[in-house]
Chain A
Amino acid sequence: MCKSLGILLLCVGGLLPIHWATADESEAVAFFENKIRPILVQHCYECHSGASDSIKGGLRLDFRELSRKGGDSGPAVIPKRVADSLIISALKYETAEMPPSGKLPDKVIADFVRWIEMGAADPREESAAHAPPKKTGDKIDWKAAGEFWSFQAPRKTAPPEVVNSTWIAQPIDAFILGTLEQAGMAPNEPADRRTLLRRVTLDMIGLPPSYEEMEEFADDTNPAAYERAVQRLLASDHFGERWARVWLDVARFAEDQAHIVGDNKELFYPNAYLYRDWVVQAFNRDLPYDEFIRQQIAADLVNPRDSSNVAALGFMGLGPKYYRRNAPDVMAEEWEDRVDTVSRGLLGLTVACARCHDHKYDPIPTEDYYGLAGVFAGTEMFNKPFSDGDETKENGQAKDTEKSTHIVRDAAPRDLKVMIRGDVTNEGDQVNRGFLRVLGNGQSKPFRIGSGRLELAYAIASPANPLTARVIVNRVWGQYFGQPLVDTPSNFGQLGSRPTHPELLDDLAVRFMENGWSLKWLHREIVLSSTYRQSSRLDATKSKLDPANKLVWRVNRKRLSVESWRDSLLAAAGVLDRSLGGRSIQVSSPNENRRTMYSYISRFELDPLLTLLDFPDPNTHSERRSQTTTALQKLFSLNSPLMVRLAKDLSGRVVKQPDLTDRARVKLAYQAALARNPDGEEIEAAVEYINAGQNKDEQWERFAQAMLASNEMLIID
């Protein structure tokens, strides 16, 4: 049987940066690309590259400088010195015999000789981005490793001096404007009032503003009107609903299992909604983010006498349980899920890479993986009875899962042995439970209290942790601007992106902590900025200079998430049920009127509407949502029972009004669906359409459906 069981996950070789060759160079480079690189990749990289399981002879041939530096025997490639380049004698089977699987054809060896004679052109630069962690012998140089940007504590720096200082409304703005001015650019003009209110309302509570709210805001000349609107939105219960869904993607929230044997629902989580509702409430009451994390990892240990946060343990307690669980290899998979969710979700580190071998790019040795996994190995998934008198099984779990909270609790604490190459049958040294050494200056104090969950919770939710605050600040920023400051929100490691505005990210992270880890503070800080209040206008000159808008010279237009889109449709049709909390709904049922965030989330089979509109696979942590545009999505807009029903509801709102002209009805429809008045041409076009069919009521419905299916409904300016 295949030993590794497919769990040895493939790690990445360096992506090569673009090399701009001069005209003279390009021929030599072409020779390398055509004749040399393919051979290296095919015959050498297996043992001599960053992707090798162990690098043979200390030699790497996947970058120019590493090839020239050579391995234990000396330089492999010396430009123009064929006789001294060890790679040639090895290929000729004169010294070493490489590749060991068989001598390459003479023609190939001749190509290598010619390549070296020509100067060994080689565009493969080892960028800092892909340098492996520095090691001395087998030990990581922790001091050097700690110098990487994301492992350094975030620091406040003085905001840059700017010319246009009147633009500064928030500290954010100085950083954004500073880089813009440096690039010789200016921010966009402010968005108009209606655009701004629609944007900030959808961004903050996930629902569109009503026509009346729009009118009132547009006419309000008080300079404090915007701030008042923001306060109102922050205080809305819908704020928690909107932002909880962002967190539930991070937490890979789901209510069942991917594997269902027969009709066995034993492993399902009928009360998963308690965790979902806890998250909503935590955001609404502005539970400090550090506390928010601690409660989710260890609510039972943080304050054992207070059971009011017990549902928070669903963060782990609703995790996937795999088929054949309790078999060692299956439990190893479950621990990986826990490590992955915690490390990518809270720390922005891809620790699960280190399950089978030391992380190839980040200073995370295999021992550190098993140190973390050991925490989860010492916990158990537990259905805690609602009340003490409820009937329980032998182990204290509720007999009826319907009457229980799904949590984790400590079991017998245990330290794990390293599983060599991830193989459960191949055990190495035992490792103390503990935190990542790179976040402790190379030290890891063993966790002593039970499973170690409590210590883990404090190690993550700590002002001394350089990642935790940065990672959440970046996620929130990404939601508002459609583009996070670090483009890989769950990977702040070597292979992740670097921040576009490092000082800004740090400044926000530090002040976020100084302000008691208050998320509402963070939201306010962002939405009150001039940066956020810019128009989204696509300026031709600026988009030539910075097409990706990395410098934030405008606010990106954003597509609504499936949640906000469906909720907006229900609101337009006047049927949205705004009640809070409770059991999950079947969102694809066309008569369901509750908000989309209450959808039942299935690991086994995700609801088709959610699947259609880029909802992430809830089987794992989601770094960010993908955005696809497909014809199947539009078939839903054109033909689905939901759209047809809502079109009827919307048209009913305007047709039922007595004694109105068609023109007045069109106006009403625009107000209801798009919270604005139509202009003359829009009215003409609508009236013409409505009178073009035989049955006027039916034409109204079709018109209403077109409004619901429109781009204006779907996209935020």
Chain B
Amino acid sequence: MPDLKLSRRNLLTKAGAGFGAIGLAIAMCQESRGGTATGLSGGMRDLPHFMPRAKRVIHLFMNGAPSHVDTFDPKPMLAKYEGQQPTGKLYNPSKGTGFMPSPFRFSPHGSSGVVISELFPQLAEYADDLCVIRSMHTNVPNHEPGLLMMNCGHLQPVRPSLGSWISYGLGTENENLPSFVVLSPGRPVVGPQLWSNSFLPGQFQGTSVDTNDLDVEKMVANIRHPLLDSAQQRQQLDLLLAMNRRHMQQRENEAIFDEQIRAMELAYQMQSEAMVAFDIARESDQTRQRYGNTPFGQSCLLARRLVENGVRMVQVHYVSKKNKQPWDTHTDNNGQHRRLCEDSDRATAALLSDLKSRGLLDDTLVVWGGEFGRTPYSQVDNKKSDTKPGRDHHHTGFSMFLAGGGVQGGLMYGSTDEFGMHAVENRVHVHDLHATIMHLLGIDHQRLTYRYSGRDFRLTDIHGRIVNDILA
């Protein structure tokens, strides 16, 4: 006879035992048709496929697309040919006044001599850690499909995001925190599709956090009971667990009940852990100032706290409440880049500095970039005579950089043509970038698949080439 006695002490002792957050390796997810069953922590049993170089990823997303010729890809020819019309079908001459040189000075930095524009003075100190890819390209010059491609590997919605795939494959390092967190002070263009789990199980969706208000309870839904303190809630939870335990014992201890009980205990523990991990107020004023008192700066600091606490992937979108894509500099490209880069420079450098000093940069991959680049030629708003020239969307050649996590630092990889129009040497498509990020995480992008609608889907579809040249 199972012991059904409900005396509090007797049952509560039992209920409290063995539900800790540790060692929950049992299969908890019923949904396993797409592959091997996953545990509460997520993750596939046969992953990683090989020894990973990176354990986690921070993706700093410059929404709207930064200009490569003003940041990481100097093009002196633009000065020589200033005002001349580029040829080719991609150029729309009605919009601009021809090639527009960058007003920003470029110089080599570090012992490696990575060339960076004056817009990134602090980041330049980490030149030897950066792997700048100057030969990125993507499929179309429109934000929506460009964002979807960069985040989900497909031009239309309804594909899981990079972060969801990574969570699905590797699970989380900390069962008390979500494995994929998206920090965004406001909503980027396209929005939730960018961190969608799509057909993967719901637990792999990115947990999106609005970082406009850094109060933990505002950022994380349901993280704290509105009325109960921790002791009162523990008491309530003990009652609940006793009820559930008894209910289960009356039902042959079937595993589905145990899963629920464990998840409940885990949730309770998650509260305290998440309250700490998300609480940016625990950082010193000095640290907070190093990152910059801006939504992006503070989000980068939060990203560091989250990866320190075992979150697998953190994405920081550079957006604001009012502007879903600040880097979309169709007008006053130069002025806007000066302002945006100052913010991004400070925060990114602080992040790299902290990751380095904590020894985390070795196995944390930092990715910096937008959905594409901007035209080397200008764009002028003819309706307003007094606006300064901007740059238009540009997808056939642009720059991104990677740092840490098993990539070669101090490297400039690939190149665009002499005007920065097209990636010509060592071209890297977004699919290739995805394949490489996955490779660094120990995932074979061709083998991490999910069966849906009669097919095995993967992030890179039928594409993707690992950029071996940039691996450390």
A residues in contact (CB < 8 Å) with B? 1-2, 4-6, 8-13, 258-261, 320, 322-324, 330, 333, 340, 344, 350, 352-353, 361, 487-488, 490-491, 493, 495-496, 536-538, 540, 557, 559, 603-606, 608, 611-615, 617, 619-621, 623, 626-641, 644, 681-682, 684-685, 688-689, 692-693, 698, 702-703, 705-707, 709-712, 714-715, 717
B247 interface residue, CB < 8 Å from A? yes
Which candidate, B94-102, B107-115, B191-199, B333-341, is the interface stretch facing chain A?
B191-199
Question: Beyond A617-B198, A627-B31, is A710–B462 a contact (Cβ under 8 Å)?
Answer: no
- The answer to whether B8 and A688 have CB atoms under 8 Å apart is yes
- The answer to whether B31 and A4 have CB atoms under 8 Å apart is no
Kindly list chain A residues whose C-beta atoms are within 8 Å of the C-beta of B402: none
- The answer to whether A2 and B463 have CB atoms under 8 Å apart is yes
- The answer to whether B222 and A12 have CB atoms under 8 Å apart is no
Shortest C-beta distance, A541 to chain B (Å), equals: 12
Q: Which of B4, B193, B239 lies in contact with A706, CB distance below 8 A?
A: B239
- The answer to whether B257 and A682 have CB atoms under 8 Å apart is no
Pairs across A and B, CB under 8 Å, 21 listed: A8-B462, A12-B451, A12-B454, A324-B142, A353-B454, A490-B453, A611-B205, A617-B198, A626-B201, A631-B175, A631-B176, A632-B267, A638-B264, A640-B221, A681-B4, A681-B5, A685-B6, A703-B239, A706-B239, A711-B260, A714-B260
Q: Which of B154, B227, B267 lies in contact with A6, CB distance below 8 A?
A: B154
B353 interface residue, CB < 8 Å from A? no
- The answer to whether B155 and A5 have CB atoms under 8 Å apart is yes
Shortest C-beta distance, A117 to chain B (Å), equals: 30
Q: Which of A611, A627, A638, A706 lies in contact with B243, CB distance below 8 A?
A: A706
B290 interface residue, CB < 8 Å from A? no
Kindly list chain A residues whose C-beta atoms are within 8 Å of the C-beta of B201: 614, 626, 628
- The answer to whether B222 and A636 have CB atoms under 8 Å apart is yes
List CB contacts (< 8 Å) of B126-153 with chain A: 139, 142, 144-145, 149, 153
Kindly list the 4 A-B residue pairs having the minimum CB-CB distance in the complex, ordered from nearest.
Answer: A350-B454, A634-B267, A626-B31, A681-B6
Question: Beyond A4-B462, A258-B158, A353-B455, is A640–B252 a contact (Cβ under 8 Å)?
Answer: no
Distance in angstroms between the alpha carbons of A2 and B139 in the assembled complex: 7
Distance in angstroms between the alpha carbons of A8 and B223 in the assembled complex: 42
Distance in angstroms between the alpha carbons of A275 and B433 in the assembled complex: 43
- The answer to whether B202 and A628 have CB atoms under 8 Å apart is yes
- The answer to whether B198 and A635 have CB atoms under 8 Å apart is no
List CB contacts (< 8 Å) of B206-236 with chain A: 207, 221-228, 232-233, 235-236
Shortest C-beta distance, A568 to chain B (Å), equals: 15
- The answer to whether A692 and B429 have CB atoms under 8 Å apart is no
Distance in angstroms between the alpha carbons of A496 and B452 in the assembled complex: 11
Distance in angstroms between the alpha carbons of A619 and B197 in the assembled complex: 12
Task: Closest A residue to B257 by CB, please name it.
Answer: A711
Kindly list chain B residues whose C-beta atoms are within 8 Å of the C-beta of A9: 455, 457, 461-462
Question: Beyond A6-B461, A538-B252, A682-B6, is A638–B198 a contact (Cβ under 8 Å)?
Answer: no
Distance in angstroms between the alpha carbons of A707 and B191 in the assembled complex: 37
Distance in angstroms between the alpha carbons of A305 and B50 in the assembled complex: 65
Distance in angstroms between the alpha carbons of A538 and B256 in the assembled complex: 12
Distance in angstroms between the alpha carbons of A90 and B84 in the assembled complex: 56
- The answer to whether A635 and B222 have CB atoms under 8 Å apart is yes
- The answer to whether A628 and B203 have CB atoms under 8 Å apart is yes
Q: Mark B302-325, 1 if CB is under 8 A from A, else 0.
A: 000000000000000000000000
Q: Mark B450-472, 1 if CB is under 8 A from A, else 0.
A: 01011111100111000000000
Shortest C-beta distance, B58 to chain A (Å), equals: 22
- The answer to whether A637 and B264 have CB atoms under 8 Å apart is yes
- The answer to whether A323 and B199 have CB atoms under 8 Å apart is no
- The answer to whether A259 and B449 have CB atoms under 8 Å apart is no
- The answer to whether B139 and A715 have CB atoms under 8 Å apart is no
- The answer to whether A635 and B190 have CB atoms under 8 Å apart is no
Question: Beyond A619-B157, A684-B6, is A629–B260 a contact (Cβ under 8 Å)?
Answer: yes
Kindly list chain A residues whose C-beta atoms are within 8 Å of the C-beta of B260: 629, 634, 711, 714-715
Distance in angstroms between the alpha carbons of A361 and B225 in the assembled complex: 53
Distance in angstroms between the alpha carbons of A557 and B264 in the assembled complex: 19
Shortest C-beta distance, B418 to chain A (Å), equals: 21
- The answer to whether A258 and B40 have CB atoms under 8 Å apart is no
Question: Beyond A685-B6, A705-B236, is A10–B455 a contact (Cβ under 8 Å)?
Answer: yes
Question: Beyond A350-B454, A711-B261, is A685–B242 a contact (Cβ under 8 Å)?
Answer: yes
Chain A CB within 10 Å — which of B199, B226, B260 has the most?
B260
Kindly list chain A residues whose C-beta atoms are within 8 Å of the C-beta of B40: 629-631
Q: Which of B198, B199, B235 lies in contact with A692, CB distance below 8 A?
A: B235
- The answer to whether B268 and A10 have CB atoms under 8 Å apart is no
Kindly list chain A residues whose C-beta atoms are within 8 Å of the C-beta of B222: 632, 635-636, 638-640
Distance in angstroms between the alpha carbons of A274 and B149 in the assembled complex: 35
Kindly list chain A residues whose C-beta atoms are within 8 Å of the C-beta of B429: 2
Kindly list chain B residues whose C-beta atoms are within 8 Å of the C-beta of A692: 235
B259 interface residue, CB < 8 Å from A? yes
Task: Closest A residue to B31 by CB, please name it.
Answer: A626
Question: Beyond A258-B158, A693-B232, A702-B228, is A629–B461 a contact (Cβ under 8 Å)?
Answer: no
B286 interface residue, CB < 8 Å from A? no
- The answer to whether B235 and A712 have CB atoms under 8 Å apart is no
- The answer to whether B453 and A352 have CB atoms under 8 Å apart is yes
Distance in angstroms between the alpha carbons of A621 and B158 in the assembled complex: 11
B44 interface residue, CB < 8 Å from A? no
Shortest C-beta distance, A559 to chain B (Å), equals: 7
- The answer to whether B456 and A644 have CB atoms under 8 Å apart is no
- The answer to whether A617 and B240 have CB atoms under 8 Å apart is no
Q: Which of B11, B178, B221, B264 lies in contact with A634, CB distance below 8 A?
A: B264
- The answer to whether A10 and B458 have CB atoms under 8 Å apart is yes
B266 interface residue, CB < 8 Å from A? yes
Shortest C-beta distance, B463 to chain A (Å), equals: 7
Task: Closest A residue to B227 by CB, please name it.
Answer: A644
- The answer to whether A559 and B256 have CB atoms under 8 Å apart is yes
Kindly list chain A residues whose C-beta atoms are within 8 Å of the C-beta of B11: 685
Task: Closest B residue to A605 by CB, please name it.
Answer: B192
Task: Closest B residue to A634 by CB, please name it.
Answer: B267
Distance in angstroms between the alpha carbons of A361 and B458 in the assembled complex: 19
Shortest C-beta distance, A147 to chain B (Å), equals: 20
Shortest C-beta distance, B341 to chain A (Å), equals: 26
19 new A-B contacts at CB < 8 Å, known A1-B139, A630-B203, A711-B257: A2-B139, A5-B155, A6-B461, A333-B156, A344-B454, A353-B453, A353-B454, A605-B191, A630-B202, A631-B176, A634-B266, A635-B222, A639-B222, A685-B8, A693-B235, A702-B239, A703-B239, A709-B264, A710-B244
Task: Closest B residue to A543 by CB, please name it.
Answer: B252
Question: Beyond A322-B156, A538-B251, A711-B247, is A340–B453 a contact (Cβ under 8 Å)?
Answer: yes
Q: Which of B6, B139, B458 lies in contact with A5, CB distance below 8 A?
A: B139
B254 interface residue, CB < 8 Å from A? yes
- The answer to whether A630 and B254 have CB atoms under 8 Å apart is no
Question: Beyond A8-B461, A352-B453, is A323–B145 a contact (Cβ under 8 Å)?
Answer: yes
Task: Closest B residue to A323 by CB, please name it.
Answer: B144
B276 interface residue, CB < 8 Å from A? no
Distance in angstroms between the alpha carbons of A496 and B463 in the assembled complex: 26
Shortest C-beta distance, A554 to chain B (Å), equals: 10
Kindly list chain A residues whose C-beta atoms are within 8 Å of the C-beta of B257: 711, 715
Kindly list chain B residues whose C-beta atoms are within 8 Å of the C-beta of A557: 251, 254, 256
Shortest C-beta distance, A703 to chain B (Å), equals: 7
- The answer to whether A685 and B144 have CB atoms under 8 Å apart is no
Kindly list chain A residues whose C-beta atoms are within 8 Å of the C-beta of B264: 634, 637-638, 709
Q: Mark B438-457, 1 if CB is under 8 A from A, else 0.
A: 00000000000101011111
- The answer to whether A350 and B239 have CB atoms under 8 Å apart is no
B424 interface residue, CB < 8 Å from A? no
Kindly list chain B residues whose C-beta atoms are within 8 Å of the C-beta of A630: 40, 202-203, 263
B47 interface residue, CB < 8 Å from A? no
B271 interface residue, CB < 8 Å from A? yes
Chain B CB within 10 Å — which of A11, A320, A712 has the most?
A712
Task: Closest A residue to B324 by CB, please name it.
Answer: A262
Kindly list chain A residues whose C-beta atoms are within 8 Å of the C-beta of B5: 681
Q: Which of A11, A493, A632, A639 lies in contact with B225, CB distance below 8 A?
A: A639
Shortest C-beta distance, A614 to chain B (Å), equals: 6
